[in-house]
Amino acid sequence: MIKTTGKSTETVFDHLAISGITRRLQELNVRTDVLTWHRFFGALLLVLLVLLVLSGAFMAFYYSPAPGSAYDSVDYALFTVPFGDIIKGVHHYGWNFFLMVLGVHLVRAFLVGAYQAPRQLVWVSGVMILLLVPIFIITGDLLPWDQKGYWSTQVRLSIIGSIPFIGDFIVRLLQGGPLTGIVALTRFYVLHILFLPCLLVFLIVIHMQFLRHRGISKPFLSGGNFSTKTVPFLPIIVNRWLILFLGVTLVLGLISWYWPAPLGDPADPTDSTYVPKPEWWVLFLNQLVTIFRGPLSVIGSVIIPGGLAGLLIALPFIDSSSERHPARRKKVILVAAIIAIGVLVLSIMGYLEHFRASHA
Amino acid sequence: MSKLKKIGFILFFVLAFGVFFIFNSHEVTGAGKQSVTVTKVENAPAGLDDPAWEKAKAVDVHFEGKERFAGKKASVATKAVYTDQEIYFLFSWKDANRSVTKGAWTYDGLKWSHQKGNEDRISLLFEINRIKNYATKGCAVVCHVPEGAPNAKDGRFGTSSAAEKGDLWHWKAARSDPAGFADDTWVTVISEKKGGRKGDAGKGGDTKNMTDDKSMPKYMLAPGKKLAKNDILLASHSVEIKDYSVFKAGDTITYRMPKMPEGSRADIKADSRYADGSWTVMLYRQLDTGHEDDVAFNPRKKYSFTMALFDDSGDEDSYDSEVLSLQFGR
């Protein structure tokens, strides 16, 4: 763990020319009420993000972004390189957990009213991060060039293409042509490892900056009478992050060891019998597309998802009351509960249609 | 935070992860690819009836008849187990007749002629290097290629390029089983002179028992030796015939004599039994032989493979399976 006292430690920091930074972090004090574990989802997200970056960098060393060699390069990294399957597994399970924890983090912030003034932009930047993650997943899915990735991409592009006015343009931009081939794969690769990570880092930096500027939300149950004891960010919070990093790495590593990340059959663009099944996080969206067909498809593919995203972003400005306790925000909580139940019901319907029906 | 809320949070996470794993445990497949799971066992099966086979789940692999067998169907009950070092397959299928003739010589008292009849066979094809679209199209790409396809020369058995290689396990009731092996061969691009099938490095296969004018057998059972399984004469147990007068009407001699394989060709050992109108065949091999002409099985990976069944027939007439998936249990 990091120790910030002692002559030897100070000498090391000085030699590394980071003594200024370490001093500022030591002087940054954090309230002790944030040390509770349910307030650590943000830290958990950072840890998962670091693991995703590290595991992704490992795979990028071996990856070849061309349809003729992409699959073989992933297969090589997975099954020939020592621990390749575990590192790939960390990446595969890492993004799934990242999305789950992001959802929990958002729900927690919503329930405790942490989006309210003066923290509106902390919430908005957090929602922007949430909306960016699916684009990571969509671009990443195609890279192994397996059946699931290829055909899932075809389905997604056809849904994007149904967006009025701009849909076709976005699809041509992503594909670089009429078909999903080498140009599309290259563009997805560049988006996944370069453009989107830069955008994500930017959003995280401004999210943290807004958080630092406005401070962490106070526990609303205290009625103002909460402990104002503080601890220094460095080393207390940093050490907790390091412990969290080690713990999460161990857990993901064990999970990856026992349940290797899946790699489907190599993509066969001529195999029209393949029907991709939606991932868990898009079951409800997929079900919307199933329900609203034909001329109404724009409702399921654009209006409802767009409306939900817009509601999330606009929430701090819609609910401008000063009350944070859920019992005193009944209308907002009720609307959120209805939407959550709707999403759950659509997801269950999607699961039954795509998974249980095929096993019957 | 209250204890109840902590428990609630923990339960929520456990439930969420549980749902996630249940979700991810469903195989994402295309058009219902059959899957054979290789079960891990502590002790390798010693024979066809070893109790170790009870731990493996049998899969009924479906076959469609081609050419002479067009319109007909067959099925082979398939099991597979593995240890730390080896992989074992057990195949069981109905066959009204045990066919091991393979053109054996018969003497009518005046002259020698070939008996009518071929042999029963079963084969498996795995990818050594990835064969384009094999995982989705199977034998339609490699085995029975259509006219005009890049590897259509010679009509069958070849990949489209030298970089694509397949490992062909070929059990032959007359030409390999009596020696206790399956013929270990591999498939590559069809060349100008030959088809795409090649024997693995080393010695093996079979040799034709005939004189230079092809009118009679050249070899007979050597003194002190016995015929192998199915009354087949092994090449190593034969001796050149010096006096043809010893033969009488009705005598038969093996035409295609199995040779004891050596080197990479001897990788796949076999045991078999024909009883009550069914064949039961066990094939086994090292998981990784270290040979470039063999597939190296990694238990953390899954493999696409296809099978073909030959019922007293030549290569043109067979029952072919769809593409199958071989997955290793933990």
Q: How much is the pLDDT for B20?
A: 64
Judge whether A30-270 and A278-360 match in fold. no
CATH number for the domain spanning B207: value is 2.60.40.1190
**φ, ψ of residue A15 in degrees (nearest 5):** -65, -35
Closest residue in B to A35 (Cα) is B1
Q: What is the residue extent of each domain of chain A?
A: 30-270, 278-360
DSSP conformation class of A266: B
Q: Is B304 on the interface with A (CB under 8 A)?
A: yes
Q: How many CB pairs under 8 A join A and B?
A: 63
Contact B81, B39 (CB under 8 A): yes
Contact A133, A218 (CB under 8 A): no
Q: How far apart are the CA of B182 and the nearest CA of chain A, in angstroms?
A: 28
Joined tokens for residue A285: 């969206």
Amino acid letter at B71? G
At a CB cut-off of 8 Å and minimum separation 6, what does B330 contact?
A258, B40
Contact A161, A168 (CB under 8 A): yes
As a whole number, mean pLDDT of residues A210-237 equals: 73
**From the centroid of its chain, how far is CA A178?**
30
Angle between helix axes A41-62 and A238-258 (nearest 10 degrees) is 50
Would you call B16 and A100 a contact, using CB atoms and an 8 Å cutoff?
yes
Closest residue in A to B17 (Cα) is A97
Flag whether B298 is in a domain: yes
Higher pLDDT pick, A40 / B264: B264
Domain range A278-360, CATH class: mainly alpha
Contact A90, A51 (CB under 8 A): yes
Integer CA distances (angstroms), B121 to A30, B127, B169, B315, in order? 75, 20, 10, 10
Dihedral angle of Cα B63, B69, B70, B75, to the nearest 10 degrees: -20
Burial of A7 (0-12, 13-18, 19+ CB in 10 A): exposed
Q: How far apart are CA A323 and CA B155, in angstroms?
A: 79
Q: How much is the pLDDT for A257?
A: 92
Flag whether B95 is in a domain: yes
Q: How much is the pLDDT for B155?
A: 53
A40-54, A225-239, B282-296: range with lowest mean pLDDT: A225-239
pLDDT digits (tens, 9 = 90+) for A109-165: 998 888 888 888 999 999 999 999 999 999 999 999 999 999 999 999 998 998 889
Its pTM stands at 0.85
Q: What percent of chain A has pLDDT over 90?
A: 53
Contact A34, A275 (CB under 8 A): no
Q: How far apart are the CA of B30 and the nearest CA of chain A, in angstroms?
A: 4
Integer CA distances (angstroms), B280 to A100, A116, B19, B232, B276, in order? 50, 73, 42, 18, 11
Higher pLDDT pick, A45 / A358: A45
DSSP conformation class of A230: E
Joined tokens for residue A280: 């868990």
Would you call A100 and B304 a contact, using CB atoms and an 8 Å cutoff?
no
Higher pLDDT pick, A310 / A21: A310
Higher pLDDT pick, A147 / A220: A147
User: How sure is the predictor about A20, in pLDDT bands with cuts at 50, 70 and 90?
Assistant: confident
A85 vs B contacts (CB less than 8 Å) = 300
Would you call B130 and A71 a contact, using CB atoms and an 8 Å cutoff?
yes
Q: Is B3 on the interface with A (CB under 8 A)?
A: no
Q: Print pLDDT tens along chain B (330 aa).
A: 566 666 666 666 666 666 665 555 444 444 468 999 999 999 999 999 999 999 999 999 999 999 899 999 999 999 999 999 999 999 999 999 999 999 999 999 999 999 999 999 999 999 999 999 999 988 877 776 666 666 655 556 788 888 999 999 999 999 999 999 999 999 998 776 667 889 999 999 999 999 999 999 999 999 999 999 999 999 999 999 999 999 999 999 999 999 999 999 999 999 999 999 999 999 999 999 999 999 999 999 999 999 999 999 988 899 999 999 999 998
Three-class SS state of A213: helix
Residue range A30-270 in CATH 3.80.10.10: no
Would you call B1 and A36 a contact, using CB atoms and an 8 Å cutoff?
yes
Burial of A164 (0-12, 13-18, 19+ CB in 10 A): exposed
Would you call B300 and A260 a contact, using CB atoms and an 8 Å cutoff?
yes
Three-class SS state of A81: coil
Would you call B28 and A72 a contact, using CB atoms and an 8 Å cutoff?
no
A34-48, A60-74, A170-184: range with lowest mean pLDDT: A34-48
Flag whether B54 is in a domain: no
Joined tokens for residue B251: 């005598």
Burial of B96 (0-12, 13-18, 19+ CB in 10 A): exposed
Q: Is B21 on the interface with A (CB under 8 A)?
A: yes
A270 vs B contacts (CB less than 8 Å) = 133, 136
Mean pLDDT of chain A: 88
Would you call A351 and B23 a contact, using CB atoms and an 8 Å cutoff?
yes
Radius of gyration of chain B (CA): 24
Q: Is B244 on the interface with A (CB under 8 A)?
A: no
Three-class SS state of A83: coil
Predicted ipTM of the assembly:
0.82
B303 vs A contacts (CB less than 8 Å) = none
Joined tokens for residue A71: 């699959």
Q: Is B30 on the interface with A (CB under 8 A)?
A: yes
Q: How far apart are CA A62 and CA A58, in angstroms?
A: 7
User: How sure is the predictor about A12, in pLDDT bands with cuts at 50, 70 and 90?
Assistant: confident
Joined tokens for residue B187: 């498939």
Integer CA distances (angstroms), A195 to A61, A89, B231, in order? 18, 23, 71
**A275-307 as b/e: b if 16+ CB within 10 A:** ebbbbbbbbbbbbbbbebeeeebebbbbebbee
pLDDT digits (tens, 9 = 90+) for A299-343: 888 899 999 999 999 999 988 787 888 888 888 889 999 999 999
Joined tokens for residue A82: 């020592």
Q: Which of B225, B215, B197 is nearest to B255 (CA)?
A: B215
Q: Look at chain B and report how many structural domains it folds into.
A: 1
Would you call B28 and A277 a contact, using CB atoms and an 8 Å cutoff?
yes
pLDDT at A55 over 90: yes
Nearest CB among B23, B28, B130 relative to A72 is that of B130
Q: Which of B56, B104, B103, B129 is nearest to B282 (CA)?
A: B56
**φ, ψ of residue B189 in degrees (nearest 5):** -70, 145
B28 vs A contacts (CB less than 8 Å) = 148, 262, 264, 276-277
User: How sure is the predictor about A354, in pLDDT bands with cuts at 50, 70 and 90?
Assistant: confident
Q: Which helix (H) or strand (E) holds A231?
A: strand A230-232
Q: Is B300 on the interface with A (CB under 8 A)?
A: yes
Q: Which of B54, B146, B88, B117 is nearest to B271 (CA)?
A: B88
Q: Which of A79, A256, A255 is nearest to B299 (CA)?
A: A79
At a CB cut-off of 8 Å and minimum separation 6, what does A14 contact?
none
DSSP class per residue in A86-112: HHHHHHHHHHHHHHHHHHHHHHHHHHT
Contact A144, A263 (CB under 8 A): yes
Label each residue of chain B as H, E or C.
CCHHHHHHHHHHHHHHHHHHHHHHCCCCCCCCCEEEEEEECCCCCCCCCCHHHHHCCCEEEEEEECHHHCCCEEEEEEEEEECCCEEEEEEEEECCCCCECCCCEEECCCCEEECCCCECEEEEEEECCCCCCHHHHCHHHHCCCCCCCCCCCCCCCCECCCCCCEEEEEEECCCCHHHCECEEEEECECCCCCCCEEECCCCCCEEECCCCCCCCCCEEECCCCCCEHHHECCHHHEEECCCHHHCCCCCEECCEEECCCCHHHHCCEEEEEEECCEEEEEEEEECCCCCCCCCCCCCCCCEEEEEEEECCCCCCCCEEECCEEEEECC
Q: How much is the pLDDT for A4?
A: 58
Q: How far apart are CA B63 and CA B93, in angstroms?
A: 11
**φ, ψ of residue A354 in degrees (nearest 5):** -90, -25
Q: Is B35 on the interface with A (CB under 8 A)?
A: no
DSSP conformation class of A292: S
Closest residue in B to A221 (Cα) is B1
Nearest CB among B24, B28, B301 relative to A264 is that of B28
Would you call B136 and A271 a contact, using CB atoms and an 8 Å cutoff?
yes
Q: How much is the pLDDT for B225?
A: 96
Residue B56 has a CB neighbour count (10 Å cut-off) of 23
A79 vs B contacts (CB less than 8 Å) = 298, 300-301
Q: How far apart are the CA of B105 and the nearest CA of chain A, in angstroms?
A: 47
A147 vs B contacts (CB less than 8 Å) = 30, 135-136
Interface mutation vs chain A, best among B1, B33, B130, B136, most A CBs within 10 Å: B136
List the domain range (segments joined by +) for residue B193. 33-45+59-328
